[in-house]
Amino acid sequence: MKPGDIVRITHDGKMYEGTLLPSLKGTVIKLANGYNMGFTSEVSVEVVGEEKRLEKFPEIRLEDNPALPQISMIATGGTIASRIDYRTGGVHMLMEPRELLYSTPELSRITHIKNILSPFRIGSESMSFSCYKKIAELAARELNGGSEGVIVTHGTDTLHYTSAALSFMLRNLAKPVCLVGAQRSPDRGSFDGSINLICSAHTALSDIGEVTIVMHAQSDDSCCNVLRGTKARKMHSTRRDAFRAINDVPIASVYPSGLIDYKSAYRKRGEGETLADTAMEEKVAFIKAYPNAQTEIIDFLIDRKYKGILVEASALGHVPTDTVEETLSWVTPVRRACEEGVIVAFATQCLNGRVNPFVYSNARIMHDMGVIYLGDMLPECGYIKLAWVLGHTNEHEEARKMMLTNYAGEIRGRSDFRGF
């Protein structure tokens, strides 16, 4: 008995037939309807044949209903767009973006998928600014071309960086752009991609005119959260409910049935052309402040003509200033950066809460040298925003003004503690 075999399983008096999938725990089969089914207890398994075309997903007839409201999909890779090679157990990219739909035939009863675009297929850890530009341009084109919303399927590692980038790039956005991924691969009984896709389809048709992340709300399959693209972060490496709102509450919970339970304020769907404003500065660094950090790294960035540095500073926005060893103080290199026109911005490595330069004098020194304190903005979002802002200006006062302007819910005057 090996993965790829057609097996018949008897359990609790019922019989199931399907393709045996590689599994670390228990027995998992893919049923003829495309669903995976997992058995953790002892079951009777009988081999009845061998899968003929192992490299192919079971064929599913996708209904096509142009009368339904239409959305577009942009497929970029990641676990949600992977499939298992039943022979090797390895995870591969889908051959065809349309295969995405095979795991989730329900989609065709919710929406008419007008276009499935696949500008590139890479895991999200390898995304770069050029990828964000392509996604933003396609999303704007599809929305302006009549789609009610856009779903972007994406790897989860850096999903929150992409959601931040799209939040800034898509100006005058008034329709839903939903990023969705999967924490578990399709070979596992716990595959979360189907529920996430279904909930993202409901969200793409809702009146939430923002860039959002739609992923599992809990570890069970009951519903997904709709998280603001600038205020979310992957907070667990493997759990299905890894994505959390930080300094924010979810916009809504969405149920597979289509029920949307709204939880906080959001920008409503509206009219107008969406603009893809995609200029990004490449020479931007994202560094951490930490004990005993050798400050030569900052000097290197200045020497190499970096235009911006986003620092994950400690707590309220501190960096080493009163060190026993003078060479470890950041005062001199940060002053040099500011004097040479590098835009330096601080966000908190606590993630929750906000930076504030007016509590302790060493932060005030940084502030007075020209460091921009980003309030309750997440460091990841701050990095993306700094690159986007510096794609538009190199002038310090204009950059500061833009960094402190709330474009997409990324910076708030008052924190919401419900999320902590």
CA 278 to each of CA 141, 158, 168, 209: distance values in angstroms, whole numbers, following the listed order: 13, 18, 8, 19
Task: Please check whether residue 175 is in contact with residue 274, taking contact to mean a CB–CB distance below 8 angstroms.
Answer: yes
* Catalytic site includes residue 234: yes
CB of 257 to a second copy, least distance (A): 27
The residue within the footprint of a second copy, chosen from 17, 360, 396, 416 (CB under 8 A), is 360
- Contact between 235 and a second copy by CB under 8 A: the answer reads yes
DSSP 81: G
* Catalytic site includes residue 133: no
Measured from the CB atom, the residue of 44 and 327 that comes closer to a second copy is 327
Convert residues 193-212 into a mask of x (bound to a second copy by CB under 8 A) and - (unbound).
Answer: --------------------
Q: Tell me the two tokens of residue 215.
A: 């992923």
Residues between 120 and 159 that touch a second copy (CB under 8 A): 120, 122-131, 156-158
- Contact between 304 and a second copy by CB under 8 A: the answer reads yes
CA separation for the pair 227, 235 (Å, rounded): 13
Per the listing, tokens 């004990």 go with 291
Task: Please check whether residue 212 is in contact with residue 228, taking contact to mean a CB–CB distance below 8 angstroms.
Answer: yes
Measured from the CB atom, the residue of 285 and 337 that comes closer to a second copy is 285
Which residues make beta-bridge pairs with 244? Answer: 233
The residue count for binding a second copy (CB under 8 A) is 75
- Contact between 321 and a second copy by CB under 8 A: the answer reads yes
Per the listing, tokens 């005058």 go with 172
Q: Tell me the two tokens of residue 297.
A: 């790294």
Non-local CB neighbours of 44 within 8 Å, separated by 6+ positions: 9, 10, 11
* Catalytic site includes residue 5: no
- With vertex at residue 211, the alpha carbon angle to CA 403 and CA 175, rounded to the nearest 5 degrees, is 120
Convert residues 372-401 into a mask of x (bound to a second copy by CB under 8 A) and - (unbound).
Answer: --------x--x---x--------------
CB of 271 to a second copy, least distance (A): 32
Residues between 63 and 92 that touch a second copy (CB under 8 A): 90-91
CB of 11 to a second copy, least distance (A): 27
CB of 207 to a second copy, least distance (A): 30
Q: Which listed residue (27, 79, 153, 278) is catalytic?
A: 79
The stretch among 55-63, 97-105, 224-232, 313-321 that binds a second copy (CB under 8 A) is 313-321
The single-letter code of the amino acid at 130 is S
Task: Please check whether residue 160 is in contact with residue 64, taking contact to mean a CB–CB distance below 8 angstroms.
Answer: no
* Catalytic site includes residue 405: no
The stretch among 137-145, 254-262, 314-322, 396-404 that binds a second copy (CB under 8 A) is 314-322
CA separation for the pair 238, 228 (Å, rounded): 21
The residue within the footprint of a second copy, chosen from 263, 283, 336, 412 (CB under 8 A), is 283
CA 303 to each of CA 169, 288, 296, 307, 333: distance values in angstroms, whole numbers, following the listed order: 29, 19, 10, 11, 11
CB of 115 to a second copy, least distance (A): 22
Catalytic residues: 79, 156-157, 234
